Structure 1
Amino acid sequence: METSFAIEEPITHQRCTESLSSVEDAIYVIGGKWKLKIIIALQEHGNIRFNELQRIVTGISARVLSNELKDLELNGFVKRIVHSEQTPVVVEYISTDYSKTLKPVIIALSEWGRTHKNNIREDVFENK
């Protein structure tokens, strides 16, 4: 069986600094306890009203959800649609196409999290 290894460029100080800066920017925008949960819920459920979203993202308060939605809208991940022609006025939230660019990242994080949890379980049980 042949094993091939990709030869990587040596990591320079500049490249390392740029990578750290990029990761810091990403974590700033999507980090925290709720943002990815909200993005995932919107991607899975499509157009969704505030109260329905709050029920799906269990444990989040209305105030925190409102603030997180404003941040996500500011960063282009969420679009707020107001249906003012209806009475009462209906407000829905949807994920943007830009938000969907996170899908590979979310899948990778999910797989890594599952693997990590299994590794921790195995390690815990092996050490007993």
Structure 2
Amino acid sequence: MGDLREEIREKIENKQFNCEKELTLSIISGKWKIVIIYQLGIDGPLRFNAIQRLFPRISHKVLSNQLRELEEDGIVNRQVYHEVVPIQVEYSLTPLGETLLPIVLMMYDWGKKRMEDLKV
């Protein structure tokens, strides 16, 4: 995680982010990241297959990439259980990831209201 912080510091110092919102968006951008954060926040820790069942349209590769990026950004924790056969991997929100949950929940509420307003 130290390398990640250094990388982010360098991007900020090199003016690669014009504002704080760009930093936030760079972390949660991706078609599935927000819904992954939502499900882990609501359902708690989930195994890879359980996440994939929640989103049947997501490919194995895309889900793996999205989870890896969230892990690299310090949002998701990947816990490997070697003592279980076959080896199990469980994903959960980190304390930093949990701080995004209120934002994601507000986005959900806004979208739900907007859909109701549009009668979708």
In structure 1, the partner of 2:78 is 80
Q: CA contact under 8 A between 2:48 and 2:90: conserved in structure 1?
A: yes
TM-score (norm 1): 0.72
Among 11, 26, 29, the alignment partner of 1:28 is 26
Equivalent-residue separation in structure 1 for 2:109 and 2:89 (angstroms): 34
1:108 deviates by 1.8
User: Sequence identity of aligned pairs in percent?
Assistant: 38
Which residue identity does 2:50 align to in structure 1?
E
- Decide which of 104, 109, 112 is 2:110's aligned counterpart: 112
CA RMSD of aligned residues (A): 1.8
Distance 2:43 2:103 in 1: 19
1:48 match: 46
After alignment, is 66-75 or 108-117 more displaced?
A: 108-117
Note the alpha carbon deviations across 1:16-40, whole angstroms, 9 max, x for none: xxxx621111111102210011111
- Greater RCO between the two (CA within 8 Å, min separation 6)? 2
Q: For 1:101, what is the secondary structure of its paired residue?
A: helix
The amino acid across from 2:100 in the alignment is L
Q: What amino acid sits opposite 2:54 in the alignment?
A: I
Taking structure 2 as the reference length, the TM-score comes to: 0.76
Aligned length: 103
Shift in Å at residue 85 of structure 1? 1.4
Contact 1:76–1:96 (8 Å) recurs in 2: yes
Rg bigger for which structure?
Answer: 1
**CA–CA distance in structure 2, aligned partners of residues 37 and 75 of structure 1:** 16
> Any unmatched runs of 5+ in structure 1?
1-19, 122-128
Distance in 2 between residues matched to 1:92 and 1:55, nearest whole Å? 14
Q: How far apart are 1:101 and its partner, in Å?
A: 0.6
Where does structure 2 lack aligned partners over 5 or more consecutive residues?
A: 1-17
* Aligned equivalents of 2:100, 2:43: Cα separation in 1: 16
Q: 2:99, 2:112 → 1: CA distance?
A: 21
